[in-house]
A = this chain, B = another copy of it.
Amino acid sequence: MRQGGRIKLSDVARDAGVSPATVSRAIAQPHLLSEETLAKVRASALRLGYLPDGAARALASGRSMTIGAIVPTLDSAIFARALQAMQSTLAQEGFLLLVASHEGHAAAEAQAVRSLLGRGVDGLMLVGAERPPETVAMLKEARVPIVLTWCGDGNFTAVTIDNVLAGRLAAEHLIGLGHRRIGMVTGQLRFNDRQRARLAGARAALAEAGLGLPDQLHSEQAVTLAGGRIGCATLLELDDPPTALIGGIDLLAIGCMEEAHARGISVPFGLSVVGIDGLDMSAHVSPSLTTVHLPIGRIGTLAAETLMALVAGRFAETTMLPVELVVRRSTARLD
């Protein structure tokens, strides 16, 4: 029950003295019209303040010019940046972003997928490749392109980074500095393949160096500063505490530094800390955080571009973006 009064396509058509079909073409395929007609239609549309009805266009054309994105949370510097990059890339082509978050719950993600698919998004971006088979099935049956980000798998096109390598780089940096007891604080491992991969990468590097990362040197925490503090405290209170810590994300690493600080332990001289992410903030904390920099904005931009290419029927393949260790002041050679 649209309220009366809204100008519709047929009003413009009448005003311009052409058929509705012509007005429709003026909007979507202007090259099909003569300049004269086009000008006439545009003038009418402008004068009447015509705004096409998206629902009707979507229904008639099967395209909604809308891309869906489902992330764990918007309230995170990382996902916020990726979404901002996506949004602005999409906007250039007239697409809009429909967002949903699942806050770490697989069921909420499934619900979001259903919702977004039902809303007729033209493409869908998700984070990570791990999800229940029912959700995967739903995505596979979807008649729209799906793009995974951060982690991919064989099932869908993806824009990924090498999380295993990220973990490895962090660990190798510390090993190279002479550390022998290295701990790691990660976020929840469940329903988070990014964190698992980073842990696995660190483990592998440590194992190759003959060191290993026993379970007691790994602490799984909420991905907040407070989580980092708790994780750090847990590991520092071991009988034989680590001399260096890896944070599964920068936020955790920063929490670790804070806890060390609170305990009067110097970073980097009493404890080396390295993060993974490369948040802006990390360059600005004190001491500045050594971290494995991930091209977060690029993930968003590329995800958007990939999705738009796929929507347009063009080809697009899975991409893996490079990660890079950025050495700053939070790590030092073990004396």
Q: How far is the CA of A62 from the CA of B79 in the complex (A)?
A: 32
Q: Are A84 and B75 in contact (CB under 8 A)?
A: yes
Sample (17) of A-B pairs whose CB atoms are under 8 Å apart: A3-B143, A5-B143, A6-B143, A53-B120, A54-B120, A55-B64, A58-B58, A66-B119, A73-B84, A74-B81, A74-B84, A79-B80, A91-B115, A96-B119, A98-B99, A225-B281, A254-B284
Least distance between A73 CB and chain B CB atoms (Å): 6
Q: Are A114 and B75 in contact (CB under 8 A)?
A: no
Q: Is the CB of A103 closer than 8 A to any CB of chain B?
A: yes
Chain B residues in 8 Å Cβ range of A5: 143
Chain B residues in 8 Å Cβ range of A103: 88
Least distance between A81 CB and chain B CB atoms (Å): 5
Q: Is the CB of A1 closer than 8 A to any CB of chain B?
A: yes
| Chain B residue at minimum C-beta to C-beta distance from A296 | B75
A87 and B99 in contact, given A76-B80, A280-B225, A284-B258 (Cβ under 8 angstroms): yes
User: 1/0 contact trace for A74-106 toward B, CB 8 Å?
Assistant: 111101110111011001001011111101000
Q: Is the CB of A116 closer than 8 A to any CB of chain B?
A: yes
Q: Are B286 and A261 in contact (CB under 8 A)?
A: yes
| Number of A residues with CB within 8 Å of any CB on chain B | 62
Q: Are B98 and A98 in contact (CB under 8 A)?
A: yes
Q: Are A87 and B59 in contact (CB under 8 A)?
A: no
Among B59, B97, B101, contact of A55 (Cβ-Cβ < 8 Å): B59
A116 and B100 in contact, given A55-B58, A284-B258 (Cβ under 8 angstroms): no
Q: How far is the CA of A97 from the CA of B100 in the complex (A)?
A: 7
User: 1/0 contact trace for A1-44 toward B, CB 8 Å?
Assistant: 11101100000000000000000000000000000000000000
Q: How far is the CA of A28 from the CA of B281 in the complex (A)?
A: 47
Q: Are B74 and A120 in contact (CB under 8 A)?
A: no
Least distance between A92 CB and chain B CB atoms (Å): 11
The 6 A-B pairs at the shortest CB distance, nearest first, are namely A55-B58, A75-B84, A80-B80, A74-B84, A54-B119, A55-B59
Q: Is the CB of A52 closer than 8 A to any CB of chain B?
A: yes
Chain B residues in 8 Å Cβ range of A65: 119
| Chain B residue at minimum C-beta to C-beta distance from A144 | B3
Q: Are A114 and B51 in contact (CB under 8 A)?
A: yes
Q: Are A55 and B258 in contact (CB under 8 A)?
A: no
Among B2, B100, B285, contact of A91 (Cβ-Cβ < 8 Å): B100
Among B55, B62, B80, contact of A75 (Cβ-Cβ < 8 Å): B80
| Chain B residue at minimum C-beta to C-beta distance from A64 | B55
Q: Are A117 and B280 in contact (CB under 8 A)?
A: no
Least distance between A222 CB and chain B CB atoms (Å): 12
Chain B residues in 8 Å Cβ range of A61: 1
Q: Are B97 and A98 in contact (CB under 8 A)?
A: yes
Q: Are A1 and B54 in contact (CB under 8 A)?
A: no
